[in-house]
Structure 1
């Protein structure tokens, strides 16, 4: 009887460790945090910012973003003061992809209504390996400036769950 109890305890411990260590299926482990949209001054266009953290040893790629709040959401990078649209962004293994003012950002085009401070915008981030991650993005004041480390801002939006597959 005691032998079965020890075996069960060892199995339970191994399962708990496996749950903490990852899915074991080789997929990236992504978390999205620090999302926000400054209240737009234009009724047609807005910017969005967030941080995607990949805690796994498998790289991924953000391939598109959609939102019911806009006709189109495009990905933009800023390099040397010039902004340009890109088709995707890499999410490095054991790394982060940061969207921030003056750098990489999302552009919400053809807004269906002008978001106001206090509203929440729902996004669907599509990844090459991880599938779709849904994010609730709060609308902040037009002058909102997050802390220097966006992952430590407790008032920022977070993902509502893990990926849902391809």
Structure 2
């Protein structure tokens, strides 16, 4: 290599290192990263999202699994949708359903929203979805960015088969 090539290569490596270092300390709406490369904000993913076809236009439930792949715990604090102006987070304990302000999404764990357990309730539907429709919701969290989810409208008797449940 000649001296010019060596200087160009050294400059390119220095710039790459500087960008990598500054990227590790930046904080943006997509989630900041710490020195281990892990996100400072919880990294949440949603799977198995569905809504059983409602019997009427008064209410409906929504079920899914919210997985937290980070080391930071979070809380589901709100849900919005064009289908209803009143979405509630419900918890079921001792066979009693109650409206709660938030549900925990543990670090490295999951929040299961399922029949007979915690779930999302749509109160006062603007229309009645049919099997095969998709309903858009937005999940809001204490720390993580909002997550948009499409709920598949399933038969009223549908129950998710959780082959990955432990």
TM-score with structure 2 setting the length: 0.77
Counterpart for residue 143 of structure 1 = 157
Give the whole-Å Cα distance in 2 for the aligned partners of 1:112 and 1:132: 23
Say which one has the larger Rg. 2
Of the three residues 119, 125, 129, the one matched with 2:143 is: 129
Give the whole-Å Cα distance in 2 for the aligned partners of 1:69 and 1:126: 16
* Contact 1:51 1:150 (C-alpha < 8 Å) held by counterparts: no
Give the whole-Å Cα distance in 1 for the aligned partners of 2:112 and 2:124: 24
* Contact 1:46 1:108 (C-alpha < 8 Å) held by counterparts: yes
Give the whole-Å Cα distance in 1 for the aligned partners of 2:75 and 2:93: 19
Of the three residues 14, 19, 41, the one matched with 1:27 is: 41
Unaligned runs of 5+ in 1: 152-166
Of the three residues 82, 101, 116, the one matched with 2:96 is: 82
Number of residue equivalences: 143
Larger RCO (CA within 8 A; separation ≥ 6): 1
CA RMSD of aligned residues (A): 2.4
Unaligned runs of 5+ in 2: 25-30, 34-38
Of the three residues 72, 92, 105, the one matched with 1:91 is: 105
The alpha-carbon deviation at position 106 of structure 1 amounts to: 0.6
Counterpart for residue 131 of structure 2 = 117
The alpha-carbon deviation at position 23 of structure 1 amounts to: 4.9
The alpha-carbon deviation at position 47 of structure 1 amounts to: 0.5
Of the three residues 51, 61, 75, the one matched with 1:47 is: 61
Give the whole-Å Cα distance in 1 for the aligned partners of 2:141 and 2:85: 20
Counterpart for residue 76 of structure 2 = 62
Which ranges of 4 or more aligned residues in structure 1 deviate by more than 2 Å?
1-5, 148-151
Give the whole-Å Cα distance in 2 for the aligned partners of 1:112 and 1:44: 9
Matched ranges for 1:1-20 at <5 A: 1=5, 4=9
The alpha-carbon deviation at position 2 of structure 1 amounts to: 8.1
Structure having the larger proportion of residues in strand: 1
Counterpart for residue 163 of structure 1 = none
* Contact 1:62 1:126 (C-alpha < 8 Å) held by counterparts: yes
The alpha-carbon deviation at position 43 of structure 1 amounts to: 1.6
